[in-house]
Chains A and B, each alone.
Chain A
Amino acid sequence: MGWLQRLRGTFSRSGDDFDAEARFHLDERTDEYVRRGMYPEDARQAALRRFGSITLAKERTGDADMLRWLHDFRRDTAYAVRMLLRSPGFSVLAILCLTLGIGANAAVFSWIEGILLRPYPLVVDQDRLFAVTGTDRGAPGHSDVSWPDWLELQRRSTLVDAFIGEKITGSTLSIGDRAERASGSMVSANYFDAIGVHPMLGRGFEPGEDSGRNAHPVTVISYQIWQERFRGDPAIIGKTQVLAGLPHTIVGVMPKGFFGTFVGYAFQFWVPASMQAQFDAGVYKLEDRGARWIEGFVRLKPGVTIEQAQAELSAIAARLEADYPETNRGRGIRLWPLWQTPFNNAGALLPTLGIALVVVLSVLLIACANVGNLLLVRAFSRQQEMTIRLSVGAGRGRLVKQLMTEGLILSAIAAAGGLVVATWLRNALALLTPPRGGVLLRLPGDLDWRVLALSAGVCVIATLLFGLVPAMLSSNVDLAGALRSQSGGVVGARSRAWVRSALVLVQVSLSFVLLVGAGLLIKSLQAVRSASPGFSTAGVLATGVDLFTAGYDPQRARTFQDELVDRLQAIGGVESAAFSRMTPFSYRNYSTAPIAVDGYDAPPDQQPTADYNEIGPGYLSTMGIPLVSGREFTRADNETAQLVAIVDETMAAQFWRGADPVGRRVQVRGRWMQIVGLARTAKYRNLLETPKPFLYVPLRQNFSATTALLIRTPQGPATLAPVLVREIHALDPNVAPSELITMREQVDRTTAAQRISVTILVVFGGLALVLAAIGLYGVMAATVSQSTRELALRMALGASASDLLRLVLSKGLVLTAGGLALGLVAALQATRLLGYLLYKVAPHDPLAFASAFMVIAAASLVACVVPAWRATRTDPLRALRG
């Protein structure tokens, strides 16, 4: 139990103990000497002499007391606090630099934790959770899984604990007099049990509730709508709520803090997968092996690796392919780590957050270099203190420890400030992400213990980075040298100068890399903005009209749609209007179907598929998508007429090898359609997509009552919105359009990832530049002030002011040039990380490099001119005499 005693000894007042013991010893010794015949006075003196240095004995006893270290630490801390208070300007600057560095890091850590690593609050065992999607042989990316396949996987797999199926959906939520869009999820019946989150009121779904066409109209609602929309009604269970046009019984309320399992959105309700047809505008897919719509997660059994599970699921998928070649040809199953989940915002944010991490680490490095530089400058002015402390016997280790303590206090304060910054920044990502009509965004940072621990680690590493070198250098004072003159420096030749120059080199090069990155992303964003999506973004407005939820049957809906288009086109200022199932660039998915074409033989193990949009008459002209040949759909292409389709040029090139396909036929989902038109290829989902075959079918022949409405008009949304509402209400006062926005805005919403990256890089790139400029200024200013004597001598020997200016400037610019060269090498490597965020910009774009170069050069010129100018003001007489 030695350590316990040592610990007690450390905190108990062992010094007093020792004094008492020594006093006893002296008293006894004095008595002894008195017994031997000395006078008490002399005896006392003799005893004292005999004892020797009480302080020394006490020190040595204290040494044994151990945790000496703790004593030292306490003393060092007190001393460090005093020293930091004595130079508040330095302390504030250093703490500010580090706060920004550490805060930015903590914020990005918290984003990565809250969005990528453990994105789902309350969900258990997220480290065994993996996303699962389908794949198509020969096609990149992912697709969904059909419900029969999903059940089969579940039945045959032995390594998977639970298959957690879900699909994002939405409904108008009309409670009282308020109607708004709410996002929700269709889930497998085991959903709540499998994720380990149980309703706080009522129940989850029961086994079997996910089967049977629209057989179980029950719903579990979120705590949030229970509180906000139902005012926390304690008797909510058993009440009904209309969702997607059908009354659902509310069977459960989820606990506070549960938002579902979809990165980016907070879900408001959950329904069993059996309600799929109701939420998909009546298309029943539960027994259709060809309809792929479900996605979700698997929880692996403990100890099972993703590779093992992947191998098993691929084997099952291969057997399904053999058993059901008609529907499953070329289809596979793929597992993804949560942070790569392709069907929610995790996959989209992954590169952005990766870049953010690199950027904030660079900023932290720059901040550390700056603080290190500041510490060096201060160490120089504290040289006398160090010299004195060394000469009165302080060990070098003690000095280093002392300086490191000061550094640790600086970074501890900065870390505390950084966590405050991180708390502010927690929801910054959600703020940078554009809203999507009524859908609750949720992109939170999570400041859990892992993030705190990591931030503490960063703080310690930062201290070592910025503190150790200056501490070693300044404790290594040359005693004799320090006694000599202090102002004998020469420009460019000073003991510690190379370390400081190296720090500046690192800063300049890192800033250069960040600025190049920012420049590339800005250019890319401009390219994205000015890129043509293949349809008009100006003069076209988009909104949604959901007739299915309003309870329309297909016949009534068709009539309503025709009448509304007629009414709108009769308004002055509206050129045309058209319905379609989907607006391009919306977050919903296009219909997709297996296709066949006469004379085109796909490889035997592949099943050609294509996405398509169901469009009304005049859609292409309203959207401004040019027809290459043939015609648009008309009202005559109705449910009784011959089935028709329009294909795009990409599809024509692939299936008809560039020949005009008008007049040929294509089979979509087993139905042959006559091709009546060839449309120019447009972008359908986002600006960066690679062209895939795409076709259009008439809305009339492939009906959906949930539709988008597109209006070509020179008027803005604000002017047209009331007109639109008036016209719709004239037809039916119970139908309301959703948000009316320009197509421009619709397109901009898909470039959120680029804009977030640009914002992060520009903000932090600018910050880095400022920090680097401060660093360069610091070095130059110190160089000048330390070499006053040399400058004076040069002046006395006839150097003109401009000579001195050139001398100092050239020294600063050599540093900058070195940093730029280093940065160039790093940037050429690093910009490739920007990957898919770059659109029509080469990673080595000369313009981005040149502008970063100019910005850095300008900033360093500014940082050097002031010290250089001061050099020219050296008064040779005073400097040489002094």
Chain B
Amino acid sequence: MLRRHRKPDALQGTLDLLVLKTLSRGPHHGYGIAADIESISDDILRVEEGSLYPALHRMEHLGWITAEWQTTANNRRARLYKLTRAGQKRLEDEQVKWDRLTKAVGKVLRFA
């Protein structure tokens, strides 16, 4: 009852993957993560704040990332997220799965 072990749906899983990947390049705050994902994907992927923060908190509590408050260059207090070893491991697993999935989808599309 305390925490529902729901199977993460594809969308959520994808967001997790993107966030973890972004954080693998170094600690970042929520806004920065969203901005990075958007800019790298040439604004094709738009991260909803309403999904991002719950995802960040969930991953924090799963121990994949840690967070701490820091002051940014423009003197604002920001919550900075950092990848943990467990998160790193998770990222690798997810990436393998994702590659396999896209390859499979690609094969099907080419065949059809």
Contact = CB atoms under 8 A, between A and B. Distances in A.
Q: Do A and B bind each other?
A: yes
Interface of A: 1-2, 5-6, 9, 17-18, 20-22, 24-25, 27-29, 31-32, 50-53, 56-57, 60-61, 63-67, 69
Interface stretch (B19-27, B45-53, B87-95, B98-106): B45-53
Interface in B24-53: 29-32, 34-35, 48-50, 53
Contacts of A66: 2-3, 61
A24 B63 CA distance: 23
The 10 closest A-B pairs by CB, nearest first: A28-B31, A64-B58, A60-B54, A64-B57, A57-B50, A25-B31, A51-B49, A52-B50, A61-B57, A21-B79
Contacts of A5: 60-61, 63
Q: Which of B30, B31, B34, B77 neighbours the largest number of chain A CB atoms within 10 Å of its CB?
A: B31
Q: Which of A21, A31, A53, A69 neighbours the largest number of chain B CB atoms within 10 Å of its CB?
A: A21
A51 B29 CA distance: 16
Interface of A is mostly: helix
Contacts of A60: 50, 53-54
B90 to A, nearest CB: 13
A29 B54 contact: no
Given A27-B76, A64-B58, A66-B3, A52 B35 contact: no
Contacts of B61: 2, 5-6, 9, 64-66
B15 interface: no
A65 B50 contact: no
Contact of A2 (B32, B48, B63, B78): B63
B14 to A, nearest CB: 17
A20 B53 CA distance: 12
15 contacts: A2-B62, A5-B63, A6-B2, A6-B61, A21-B53, A24-B31, A24-B76, A28-B31, A28-B32, A32-B35, A51-B49, A53-B50, A60-B50, A66-B3, A67-B2
Contacts of B78: 21, 24
Contacts of A25: 30-31, 34, 49
A27 B78 CA distance: 10
Interface of B is mostly: helix
B30 to A, nearest CB: 6
B77 A22 contact: no
Contacts of A20: 77, 79
Given A20-B77, A24-B78, A64-B57, A29 B2 contact: no
Given A27-B76, A52-B48, A69-B1, A22 B62 contact: no
A476 to B, nearest CB: 21
Nearest to B86: A2
A53 B48 CA distance: 11
Chain B interface bracket (under 10, 10 to 19, 20 to 34, 35 or more): 20 to 34
B54 A61 contact: yes
A28 to B, nearest CB: 4
Q: Which of B29, B57, B77 neighbours the largest number of chain A CB atoms within 10 Å of its CB?
A: B57
A63 B77 contact: no
B94 to A, nearest CB: 18
Contact of B49 (A2, A31, A57, A69): A57
Contacts of A51: 49-50
A626 to B, nearest CB: 77
B31 A29 contact: yes
A64 B54 contact: yes
A50 B35 CA distance: 13
Contacts of A2: 61-63
Contact of A24 (B3, B35, B77): B77
A257 B102 CA distance: 78
A56 B54 CA distance: 10
Interface in B49-85: 49-50, 53-54, 57-58, 60-63, 74, 76-79
A64 B76 CA distance: 26
A52 B54 contact: no
Contacts of B58: 64
B2 A65 contact: no
Contacts of A9: 61
A210 to B, nearest CB: 62
Contact of A63 (B1, B54, B63): B54
Nearest to B34: A25
A869 B35 CA distance: 76
A722 to B, nearest CB: 77
A388 to B, nearest CB: 26
A842 B46 CA distance: 86
Contacts of A18: 53
Nearest to B30: A25
Contacts of A69: 1-2
A31 B35 CA distance: 12
B2 to A, nearest CB: 6
Nearest to B54: A60
Contacts of B34: 25
Given A28-B32, A63-B54, 16 more contacts: A2-B61, A6-B61, A17-B79, A21-B30, A21-B78, A22-B53, A24-B30, A25-B30, A28-B31, A29-B31, A50-B49, A52-B49, A53-B50, A60-B53, A61-B54, A61-B57
B49 A1 contact: no
Contacts of B2: 6, 66-67, 69
Q: Which of A2, A18, A25, A53 neighbours the largest number of chain B CB atoms within 10 Å of its CB?
A: A25
A565 B62 CA distance: 95
A66 B29 CA distance: 22
B28 to A, nearest CB: 12
B42 to A, nearest CB: 16
A61 B76 contact: no
Contacts of B77: 20, 24
Nearest to A63: B54
A12 to B, nearest CB: 12
Contacts of B48: 52
A866 to B, nearest CB: 45
Contacts of A24: 29-31, 76-79
Contact of B53 (A31, A32, A57): A57
Contacts of A63: 54
A1 B1 contact: no
A60 B48 CA distance: 13
Nearest to A20: B77
Contact of B54 (A17, A50, A57): A57
